[in-house]
Amino acid sequence: MPSTIDIRRRIRSTKNTQQITKAMKMVSAAKLRRAQDRIFAARPYAAALREVLASVATRVEGISHPLLESREAERNVLVVIITADRGLCGAFNTNVIRAAVNTIQERGWQSVQLMPIGRKAIDFFKRRPYPIRHSAQLVKALSLEHAREISVMLGEDFTSGAADAVYVVYNEFRSIMSQIVRVDRLLPIERAWDQNAPAVEYLYEPGPAQILGELLPKHIEYQLYRALLESAAAEQGARMTAMEAATKNASDMISHLTLTYNRIRQAAITKEIIEIVSGAAAAEG
């Protein structure tokens, strides 16, 4: 049975840990609010960009652009995997990495190259037999410029033939308690525009073909930016949930240790009283 000194030491250590987890929860809550504002602002823009892209595409006959070229077979595939730089966020990183590995194994691509974004993904895959073509760490102040640099590299790999398709695996933010792992094809761009949709006549300057050529790279850039924002918001939500659970578990452990401490202390006091009474009785006898 542990001594009262050991239990007091464990209670003190657990209280210190509880203070840390509680502080991390509060920090994540503040960061989550800012991340939510950014993703809620990005989603309508991404949807509007897709609508404009579809509207312009329906007015261009015989669309031909390197980012639209669909290869007959996806032999060489580049997979972008977005995780966090840090842990202590539950199964956030594990779920993304597991989904990426399962996707690679299930689809049976002939050649797969990876672009891990985030230190957790980089540390995991550099010890695995998967070739890493590019890698990038997340920056604290995630910006559109950061997404633009990555999208340019991906576009060059696709247009040069180094990759027949580019997929991105990331956590989509749904709520504080829910993050959904998504596997989306980034390149080639899907021709999702509806040719039968009612057309509204617009005047374009310059022509629709030139505008479409400008919109397609921006579309890739912003879809990647939205995925990074989704992952950042999901990370803070997962960390907030994990730290809240850790704080609650610490409280339960402190209660259990305190109860055990009181029982041991009470047993020691009772034993001392019995010894005193027995000694007094023996002396009187």
Q: What is the CA radius of gyration of the chain?
A: 29
Catalytically annotated residue among 24, 42, 78, 89? 89
Give the number of other CB atoms < 10 A from CB of residue 62.
5
Which residues partner with 183 through β-bridges? 169
- One-letter amino acid identity for 163? A
Q: Which of 147, 141, 90, 150 is nearest to 120 (CA)?
A: 90
**DSSP label of 146:** H
**Residue 89 among the catalytic residues:** yes
- In whole angstroms, give the CA distance from residue 55 to residue 61: 13
**DSSP label of 67:** G
110 in Cβ contact with 190 (< 8 Å): no
Q: At what angle do helices 4-57 and 208-284 cross, to 10 degrees?
A: 170
Parallel/antiparallel/unpaired status of strands 179-187 and 111-117? unpaired
* Structure tokens that stand for 213 in this block: 């050529």
246 in Cβ contact with 159 (< 8 Å): no
What residues are labeled active site?
89
